[in-house]
Amino acid sequence: MEIGIIGLGDMGKLYANKFVRAGYAVNGCDLPVKRDKLEEELSGIGINILEDGIAVSRNSDMIFYSVEAENIEKAIERYGPSTKTRAIVAGQTSVKTPEIKAFERYLPKDVNIVTCHSLHGPSVDPIGQSLVVIRHRSTDNAYKSALNTLEVLGSNIVEIPDYKEHDKITADTQAVTHIGFESMGTAWKNAGFYPWENTSYIGGIDNVKVLMALRIYGGKGHVYSGLAILNPFAREQVRQYAKSESELFKMVIKEDEIAFKERIMKATDFVFKNVDSPIFLDNNVMGEFSLGINSDNRTPNSHLSLLAMIDAWYQMRINPYNNLICQTPPFRLRLGIAEYLFRDKELLYESLQTALSDKKIRGDDLEFHSAVREWASIIERKDLVGYKQQFDETRSFFKDRIPEAMKKSTELIKRLTIGSK
């Protein structure tokens, strides 16, 4: 079998290298202006760089489209009709609805569609990570062949029968997770301080918040905008997250302690009461991963971002533990720190009292509230350009510490994943 990869960006190159090492012949292409550089970088390890996606489609038995979600339809329209008879075609986008619609429209009827989604970024080794596989249109033999090929990546394969189910789950595990961390980053940027220099954002779960926010801003904006804007289920969930955050913040401003705590307790019972397999993050490990001052100087904060997430799950009747089948490292850590907060009764009580009575934190929470509104509005308008602009402005504020945060967050993910297992 010859494997073809259309789009040799970070994820495309990761796949290409893995398949070559497994003994497959690999054909690949990217934009024409990148061909010389790619030949210099990749041909020495056995990847055959072809002229374009037409050549890749004609010569390959299993073809992966590793293209941005916003460009996937154009790529499939251009190269799909040239697909080899009875070949297997997959996409690597995180949003399957536009991808599948384009496959159905432009691929020949005799082509098998077995798509996939690696639930990690290019900086994470696929071994042990989750890999979603969706059989959309395929013979039994072609599907078996696709599974055998994907198994060489060393990922944990999760078979999902329908692409719509995939998009509904990833709206929660990715789109809303990213908005939470992105809003934290934007709030800190707008407030004009670095969280690792502020005693309210150091130690334990706050270290995770900071590292995950900077890890996301160390990525590419178009990846996150596609997840949030092109996923048909994401807007509804982002809308609810913004509504939950706003309603909780209003209760805090009015200092309506009874209503605030009653609402949090209802959400707590719904999400955590009957959990069979909690994540159980290690506070000692989380405490090691600070970018700044010693955690002994920690002062309380409200954890409004996590309170809003739990309330949003409750309002939408989403069990986040069911969605761990499509988990990403940021989602697992987001759920893990929420679980840690809500299972530690003293920490939760401290958080709620701080929200209700600490005027300094209320100012920070106002910045977070405004940031959530900004991000939710961009997604509601389907504003890809505005998303990128907001993303880049926040990333610029943190740019000097992003490389260190990427390194530390990778180690944190590794340590906590091993510990939770």
The pLDDT value recorded for residue 420 is 52
Instruction: Name the pairing type of β-strands 47-49 and 25-29.
Output: parallel
Tens digit of each residue's pLDDT (9 = 90 or more) over 144-173: 999 999 999 999 999 999 999 999 999 988
Tens digit of each residue's pLDDT (9 = 90 or more) over 247-268: 999 999 999 999 999 999 999 9
Instruction: Work out the pLDDT band at 369, boundaries 50, 70, 90.
Output: very high
Instruction: Work out the pLDDT band at 417, boundaries 50, 70, 90.
Output: low
Domain with CATH 3.40.50.720 in the chain: 2-161
Mean pLDDT of 305-319: 96
Q: Bridge-partner residues for 157, per DSSP?
A: 131
The share of the chain scoring above pLDDT 70, in percent, equals 99
The pLDDT value recorded for residue 306 is 97
The pLDDT value recorded for residue 419 is 53
The pLDDT value recorded for residue 119 is 87
DSSP-assigned letters across all residues of 125-177: -STTSEEEEEEEE--HHHHHHHHHHHGGG--EEEE-S-HHHHHHHHIIIIIIH
Domain 2-161 has CATH 3.40.50.720: yes
Tens digit of each residue's pLDDT (9 = 90 or more) over 80-105: 999 999 999 999 998 999 999 999 99
Number of Cβ within a 10 Å radius of residue 196? 19
pTM to 2 decimal places: 0.84
Instruction: Work out the pLDDT band at 121, boundaries 50, 70, 90.
Output: confident
pLDDT at residue 315 tops 90? yes
pLDDT at residue 421 tops 60? no
As a whole number of angstroms, the distance between CA 388 and CA 292 comes to 28
The pLDDT value recorded for residue 181 is 96
As a whole number of angstroms, the distance between CA 84 and CA 292 comes to 55
pLDDT at residue 358 tops 80? yes
